[in-house]
Amino acid sequence: MATQTWVVFQRAMLQLLRNPVWVFFGLTQPILYLVLFGPLLKNVSGGGLGGDASWVIFVPGLLLQLAIFTGGFAGFGIIQELREGVVERQRVTPAARSALILGRSLCQTVTVAAQSLLLVVVAIPFGLDASISGVTLSILLISLMTLGISSASFAAALILGDEDSFAPMVQGISLPLMLLSGVFLPMALAPGWLEGLSRANPLTYTLDGMRDLFRGDFTSSDVALGSLLTLALAALLSWWGSRAFARNSS
């Protein structure tokens, strides 16, 4: 299983390195938010914002945005492979169905981890002062989230089978989840009804935990709850993605 997953991962990474356009444009949007929107938050008060402390709130949100969009839109690649017959050729090999999707998902995970590290480095000259250990653990949480989201994305793309159906589905799910998690502004600034809705979003707890990790507060309840929910959600989405992929392959 591990060998099969590694082979699929290597193939996916080689494809990505030969055509890194998606990686470049996937990172461009968060950097634009960082450069053009982040400085505005330095003059906002409330919710932990204000001065250089705003970056500890804002940068973890950008990392979550990377995971949501990179993982969510990963399925576009497998639709093209399905059309070209690549998936069918892989299905007749002895490789486990779970290895076929896990190897691809690991490629997305490594990509987001590298993008996240680069984004944090770019944020430092703007005033980000975060705990190194906290940043490391946050990138680990983002990687787990990406693994789960991309697995579900690949399976959903195979089920739907074309970009015209897949794109609006991903957009319709990812955008509300992203906004309700408070990626741009903390939900503490939201009215009561909107903050209540955000509490039904598991990504909210992931983001709250990451923000505490960036501050170096490793013992907070948000860190413990966010880590547990992230691990559980990543495992659930990976399991569902592998199961749906296998069923669709039969």
Per-residue pLDDT in tens (0 to 9) along the chain, 250 residues: 888 888 888 888 888 888 777 777 777 888 888 888 888 887 777 767 777 788 999 999 999 999 998 899 888 888 888 877 777 777 777 777 788 888 889 999 999 999 999 999 999 999 899 999 999 999 999 999 999 999 999 988 888 888 888 989 998 998 899 889 988 888 888 888 888 899 999 999 999 999 999 999 999 999 999 999 999 999 999 898 888 777 765 5
Report pLDDT for 191.
86
Reference 150, options 38, 41, 75, 86; nearest CA is 75
Report pLDDT for 13.
86
Report pLDDT for 249.
56
User: How many Cα atoms sit within 13 Å of 135 on the Cβ side?
Assistant: 19
10 Å CB burial of residue 17 (0-12, 13-18, 19+) is exposed
Report pLDDT for 248.
65
User: How many Cα atoms sit within 13 Å of 110 on the Cβ side?
Assistant: 14
